[in-house]
Amino acid sequence: MDAREKTAIGADDGLSENRYWSWASMARGRFKWFALMFAAIVLMAGCGAGEDKSSGDITAATSTGGNVAADADITSGCWSAADRGASDAERTEGSVAHQQWNKAPEMVIDSDKTYRATLDTSAGTVEVEFFPKDAPQTVNNFVCLARAGYFDGTPFHRIVQGFVAQGGDPTGTGSGGPGYRFADEPIPANRNYTKGTLAMANSGANTNGSQFFICTADLSGRLPKNYNIFGQVISGMDVVDALDKTPTQVRNGEKSSPINPVTLNKVTITGA
């Protein structure tokens, strides 16, 4: 991948299925289409359904979803019961796949304080420090979702080697989200998409929800500043490298779907 590539970090947050494309993958796809067509047909017949199953059913089986610490979203001060997108009965009976809210969370963080997170993944533990002064709304959103247990048991559904590891979608499809969207925040000149950077995925301007990515390489100058930067890995870069080496297969025209599940088991927030 070089500076000519136009690679988007997409997230649709549940309104429609979002497709991820890069200039390089499209070019390679066109060039090899005829040669790989027969093999693709065989692959689809033999394990195509399994690919969809791995990105969907795994989430349903492992995600704590709507039943996580039933009132954690309220006791954290982030939302009220009226803000929930599903009724108490639906949440209690587990008839919703994951938590939903009708609005972005209330501001509960103090931008003058230091906030960190421990990301317990199936590949190991990553420690992250947030940038609340640079991106207060984005940090607040991640903190609130984490405190509500939203990320627990969710997959890293998109991993592109030498680029990003993307998660935050309980459905594992790339189209899931928390039920709301919030605005972009300006990215300071001194921030860029260096290795270990945390940023929000989106499907266009002001469409942030829950999906985020970790840069697994230095993308400075290669990725336009269209994705809210809100944190940096401070420990566990070896885990980031392990995520980057995850074997993947093609889905939606891009080699980015993990062959075996890669899971964000739990996110724990600490604040000064």
The string of pLDDT tens digits covering residues 143-165 is: 999 999 999 999 999 999 999 99
Is 54 or 169 the better-scoring residue by pLDDT?
169
Mean pLDDT of 83-107: 83
Average pLDDT, the chain: 80
CB within 8 Å of 86: residues ≥ 6 apart:
66, 95, 96, 99, 100
> CB of 22 within 8 A of CB of 5?
yes
pLDDT of res. 272: 63
Q: What percent of the chain has pLDDT over 70?
A: 74
The beta-carbon contacts of 59-62 under 8 Å, at least 24 apart in sequence, are: 59/97, 59/153, 59/154, 59/155, 59/170, 59/171, 59/172, 60/97, 62/153, 62/154, 62/261, 62/263
* Alpha-helical regions (H) of 44-169: 49-62, 72-75, 88-93, 136-147
> CB of 179 within 8 A of CB of 14?
yes
pLDDT of res. 20: 35
Beta strand pairing call for 263-271 and 154-155: antiparallel
Q: Residue 103: is its pLDDT beyond 80?
A: yes
pLDDT of res. 55: 26
Please state, in angstroms and as integers, the Cα–Cα distance from residue 240 to each residue in 13, 55, 166, following that order.
24, 20, 11
Mean pLDDT of 168-188: 96
Q: What is the DSSP letter of 1?
A: -
Integer Cα distance of 13 and 49 in angstroms: 23
pLDDT of res. 69: 60
Identify the CA nearest to 85 among candidates 205, 209, 201.
209
Mean pLDDT of 16-20: 34
Is 49 or 255 the better-scoring residue by pLDDT?
255
CB atoms inside a 10 Å sphere around CB 118: 16
> Can you list the domains of the chain with their CATH numbers?
29-271 (2.40.100.10)
